[in-house]
Amino acid sequence: MKLRRTLGFSRRALLQFRHDRRTFAFVLIMPLLMILIFGYTFGGDVKNIAVEIVNQDTGLPPGTSTLLPQGLFLAKNITKNFDRNTLSLHENTNIDDARQKVHDGKAWAAIIFPANFTQNFLTTLTTQPGTAHPKVEIYLDASNPTISAAVIKTISHTIQITLKELTTTLNKTQIEMPITIEQTYAYGGSDTRFIDYFAPGVISFAIMMVTTMITIILFVNERRNGTLQRLLVSPASESEIVAGYALAFAVIGVFQSIVVLVAAILLFNITIIGNIFLALVVILLLAFGHQGLGILLSAAAKNEMQAVQFIPLILFPSILLAGLFWPIESIPSYLQPLSYIIPLRYGIDAERSIMLRGWGIGEIWVDILVLILFALFTLSASVLLLKRKN
Amino acid sequence: MNVTCPCCGERGKVTFERSFDTTTTVIEIQKLTKTFRKFTAVDSLDLTIYKGEIYGLLGPNGSGKTTIIKMLTGLLQPTAGTTKLFGHTLPCKSIMNDVGYMPQDTAIYIDNTVHENLFFFGSIYGISKQRLEKREREMLQFVDLQNWRDSLVSTLSGGMKHRVSLACALIHEPKLVFLDEPTGGIDPELRATFWEYFGSMVKKGITVIITTHYMDEANRCSRVGLLRQGKLIADGRPSDLKNNTRTNSLEDTFLALAGRKKP
C-alpha cells in the first residue's frame, strides 16, 4: 500500500466536500440540528405542568406543642417548596372545583391538603402511629405517564425536602424520621440532565448516519459514473482505495464531532469528565466500520434513489435498539438481544461511559474490541467486494 | 535486462515500464471467452495488436465490444483464455502504469475541478508533483481547456467533460490506451476533434484500442475487428476488408459478412 496514493484518494474526496457545499452542510447541520432540537425540546424534564392545589390545612393552634414551631402550617411549607418550574400551581379553595379542572383536562393533577394535616402530623410524631395519619390527596390525570410520573416525583421529593428542613430547624434529637434515604452518586448527580445523557449518543449516531449515507452515495456514484472502473484499471490497489476513503471519513468524523461537542458544551454546558481523545478514537472506529458497511451496501444499490431507501433500514434499528434515546433496559426482553448486533450500541455505550463516567480503556475495552472487529470485518469485506470481477 | 514480473511471473527481456521496446506486440489475446450464465458474450477470441496501431473494435450493440475491453483492462475475469499486455499475463497490476482507460461513461468526478481530477488521476499513477504540473499543462493544451482548469466539472458542457475524461486517461503518458465508445453521443465537430487527438497520440507511439458502432469512424483505424454476437467475424485493414467483400463501405462489409443483403 502506497501512502501517497492513499492520501491522493483522501485528498480528492475532501476537496469534493469543499466544493459540494450542500453535502458539507448536511455533515455539520444534521448533528447540530439533532442536538439542538433534542436538547431543547426533549430536555427530559417536563415543565409547567398545570396543577390545582387546595390547601385546607388549619395548621397548629398556638400552645398545642412544644415539639414543633408555634403556628406551623406544614402544607404551606410544602407548597412553598414546590419546584415552580416543573409545576405551574394554581391555588384553589374548592376541592370539587379542583377535581373538575382535572376532569376537564385543564389541569393534570389536584393536590389536596386536608384540614387537620399539620395536626395529624404532630399526632403521628408524638403518639402511636396509625390513628390519624397526615394525608395528601392527589387526583391525577395519568393518561400521560411522563407527566404523572413527574408530578408524583415532584410531590414526594418536595415532602422529603420540607421534612428535612423541619428537622434541621429543630433540635435534631427531638424528631426521629422513620426512614431516611441517603443518596450518593457513583456517576452523574442530581444535576445530570437528559442532554448530558443524550449528547454522547447523538455524536455517535450522527457519525454513523453521515458516514454510512455518504459512503453509499459516493460509491454508488463511483460505480455508475465509471470512476471506480477507472481506478480499478489503475495500479492502485483496492485496499488503497478503501484506506484512502477511510482516512477522508476519519477527518470528517473528527471535525464533525468537535463541532457537535463544542456546540453541546457552549449551548447546554454538558458534562464531559472522561478523556476526550478516547472519545474521538471511538468516533473514528465507528466511522471506519460504517464506511465499510456503506461500501458493502452500495453494491446493492444501482442509483442514488435506491441508496436513499437504505436510510430507514439503518435509521430505525439504530434509533430504537441502540439505546440512543431510551435505555436498552426499556426494550422488551425478547428484543434486547437484537441490540447486540447493532454496532452503534457499542459506540453509544462507550461514549457515554467516557463522557459521563470518566471511564478509560480498562472499562470499555469490550466496546472498543467490538468496534475494531466490526471495522476490520466491513473494511476487508469491502476490499474483497471491490476485487470481485466476474 | 532479465526481469521477472512480480505479478505474472513472466520472464524476459523486459522492464516493467518499457517492455515494448524489444517487441512490437502490445496485446496478445488467446482463446478469450466470457460467458454470463448461458449467454456467451465473447466467444474464443484470438487477436494480436501491435505498437502504434489504432485498432477499432467494431460491431453493433451487444456484440461484446465492452466486455472485451473490460477483460483487456482486468475489470472482468475471463471465463477462459489468456491476455498478455506487453508480454505480461493479466491480471497484472504493475503493467497498469502503462495503460490508460476511458470508460463509456464520462468517469470523472463532477464535484471536483478539472485540475483536481487531473491531479488525482495523475497521483494514483505515482507521478511526482513537478512532472504532474507539466503534464497538466500539456493535457489542458491538448484538449484545449487551458481556461477551464479551475472550473468545477459539473459546470462544464458535455463535450468538455468528454475532453477532460480523455485528458485524465492520458495524464500518466500511457503506452496503451483503451477508449470505450469515446465518441458515443457527442456532436460531429467534437468527434472530428477527437479523431485528431487519436491521430496525434498514435504519432507519439501510443497504441490505441477503440470501440465504436459508427462504421464511418472505423475507416480511420489502422485495423478493425468486426464483431458479431461475441465472435470476431473479420480482422484487417478497412480497405482490405472492403476489397475482400467487394463492398464500398464498412457497413456493407459488415452486412455482407453477417450474411444479410443491403436493404
Round to whole Å and give the CA distance between B54 and B50: 9
Cα dihedral: A291, A292, A293, A295 (round 10)? 90
Residues A223 and A342 in one domain: yes
Mean pLDDT (whole number) for B176-183: 88
Select from A82, A257, A88 the least CA-distant residue to A158. Answer: A82
Taking contacts as CB-CB distances below 8 angstroms, the residues of chain A near B97 are: 235
- Residue range of the domain that includes A81: 49-174
Per-chain mean pLDDT for chain A? 84
Residue B250, amino acid: L
For residue B21, the model assigns a pLDDT of 38
Confidence of residue B121 (pLDDT cuts 50, 70, 90): very high
Residues A140 and A169 in one domain: yes
CATH fold group of domain B2-257:
Rossmann fold (3.40.50)
Residue A58 lies in a domain: yes
Last residue of a domain, one of A174, A203, A238: A174
Q: Are A237 and B93 a contacting pair at CB < 8 A?
A: yes
Mean pLDDT (whole number) for A49-56: 89
Round to whole Å and give the CA distance between B51 and B54: 9
Domain total of chain A = 2
Confidence of residue A311 (pLDDT cuts 50, 70, 90): confident
Select from A83, A356, A360 the least CA-distant residue to A193. Answer: A356
Last residue of a domain, one of A139, A174, A209: A174
Instruction: Assess whether pLDDT exceeds 60 at residue B36.
Output: yes
Confidence of residue A263 (pLDDT cuts 50, 70, 90): confident
> Which phi and psi angles does A190 have, rounded to 5°?
-65, -15
Residues A199 and A316 in one domain: yes
Cβ-based neighbour number of residue A282 at 10 Å:
27
ipTM entry:
0.84
CATH number at residue A90: 3.40.1710.10
For residue A383, the model assigns a pLDDT of 92
**A229 interface with B at CB cutoff 8 Å:** yes
Confidence of residue A367 (pLDDT cuts 50, 70, 90): very high
Lowest-pLDDT choice from A315-324, B12-21, B80-89, B150-159 = B12-21
In this structure, the strands spanning A87-92 and A109-113 are unpaired
Lowest-pLDDT choice from A124-128, A155-159, A171-175, B235-239 = A171-175
**A2 interface with B at CB cutoff 8 Å:** yes
Confidence of residue B1 (pLDDT cuts 50, 70, 90): very low
Residues A305 and A376 in one domain: yes
Residues A133 and A102 in one domain: yes
Cα–Cα distances in Å, from A104 out to A95, A279, B134? 14, 50, 82
> What is the residue extent of each domain of chain B?
2-257
Confidence of residue B201 (pLDDT cuts 50, 70, 90): confident
User: What SS3 state is found at A136?
Assistant: coil
Residues A89 and A210 in one domain: no
Taking contacts as CB-CB distances below 8 angstroms, the residues of chain A near B168 are: 230
Select from A212, A342, A359, A211 the least CA-distant residue to A279. Answer: A359
Cell digits for B52? 502504434
**A11 interface with B at CB cutoff 8 Å:** yes
Residue A181 lies in a domain: no
Instruction: Assess whether pLDDT exceeds 60 at residue B114.
Output: yes
Question: Tell me: the pLDDT tens digits for A232-241?
Answer: 898 888 899 9
Residues A156 and A236 in one domain: no
> How many angstroms separate the CA of residue B102 from the nearest CA in chain A?
7
Residues A59 and A163 in one domain: yes
Q: Are A15 and B116 a contacting pair at CB < 8 A?
A: yes
For residue B248, the model assigns a pLDDT of 79
In this structure, the strands spanning B54-58 and B39-50 are unpaired
Residues A197 and A325 in one domain: yes
Round to whole Å and give the CA distance between B169 and A144: 65
Cell digits for A269? 454546558
Per-chain mean pLDDT for chain B? 82
For residue B16, the model assigns a pLDDT of 31
Residues A206 and A146 in one domain: no
For residue B20, the model assigns a pLDDT of 32
Residues A162 and A205 in one domain: no
Residues A203 and A127 in one domain: no
